Amino acid sequence: MSWYRNTVWFVKGLREYTRGGYESASKRFNPADVEVDVAGRSFLVTGANSGIGKATAKEIARRGGTVHLVCRNKDRAEVAKEEIVTETGNQNIFLHIVDISNPKEIWKFAEKFRNEHKLNVLINNAGCMVNNRELTEDGLEKNFATNTLGTYIMTTALVPLLEKAADARVITVSSGGMLVQKLNVSDLQSESGPFDGTMVYAQNKRQQVVLTEQWAKAHRNIHFSVMHPGWADTPAVRSSMPDFYERMKNSLRTEAQGADTVLWLAVSPEATKLPSGLFFQDRQPVSTHLPLAYTHSPPEDEEKLMEVLEEFSQKFKSASPG
């Protein structure tokens, strides 16, 4: 069955996730949806120094938004900030250095941010695909720490601030790869069996879909969404999936095409007319499961995921400095 799911996903991707798929889908886009002035609104983008994160931040800056770039590498982040300011003329671009794989750092950052800024839109874009099992300084498997726990803590720590905002939104950048994974709460840190970085990443992305659905139920005043950017030519794809990149490089979407639905979800009035908690691709909600894939999970597993992440979250909150 896993072979079937992977094959269906790849064939589906060849058709829909490439540059050609974007060009086909974009024929039905309404350009006015994203031709909006967001001056006075505050956006936080994680993983914003390159790829889809930077492309999203740049487009929001063009529309007048205040943009907080949350990045791990200070040197690359400063270059990205300068590029965004220069190209858009928007001076309201702020830089924060945070490692999303370090839960104590996230808590420290979020608590300071809540006291100093307002926030209308959180964009969880930071992620990684580590192909060998590596542990962080906290003893966490690195993919899980970054993609799942980091996203969970950043979001839940900033929910109190978002609750105070008008038209608050949270967008999480997931992946179509999650379609080949059923939620597995018994081995969140990939301690059992052989380690496959691609499948661990896909499992993390399934977890992000579940998180979004659960948050949408719990926080009715915030619009939550999760999306697949398609297969885009980003530094992360080149470094984490070199074989895939070589095979598909002539068909990959541009960074801006990959970021298009993130931007639409972040700024368009049309996005929030749709229910909270949905999974999007090319500006429209799509199913979170392939036909006959048996990737649905029971409610108790989804509740267990939230419980375990909350336990981790509180543990690191109490351990964070300040």
Q: Amino acid identity of 258? A: G
* Residue 130 main-chain phi, psi, to 5 deg: -95, 120
d(CA 58, CA 4): 39
The bridge status of strand 42-46 relative to strand 93-97 is unpaired
201 catalytic? Reply is yes
User: Who contacts 205 (Cβ-Cβ below 8 Å, separation ≥6)?
Assistant: 147, 174, 175, 177, 178, 181
Residue 133 exposed, middle or buried by CB count within 10 Å (0-12, 13-18, 19+): middle
Among residues 4, 22, 201, 245, the one annotated as catalytic is 201
User: How far apart, in whole angstroms, are the C-alpha atoms of residue 118 and residue 92?
Assistant: 13
> Mind giving me the DSSP string for 48-93?
TTSHHHHHHHHHHHHTT-EEEEEES-HHHHHHHHHHHHHHH----E
Any idea which residues carry the catalytic annotation?
201
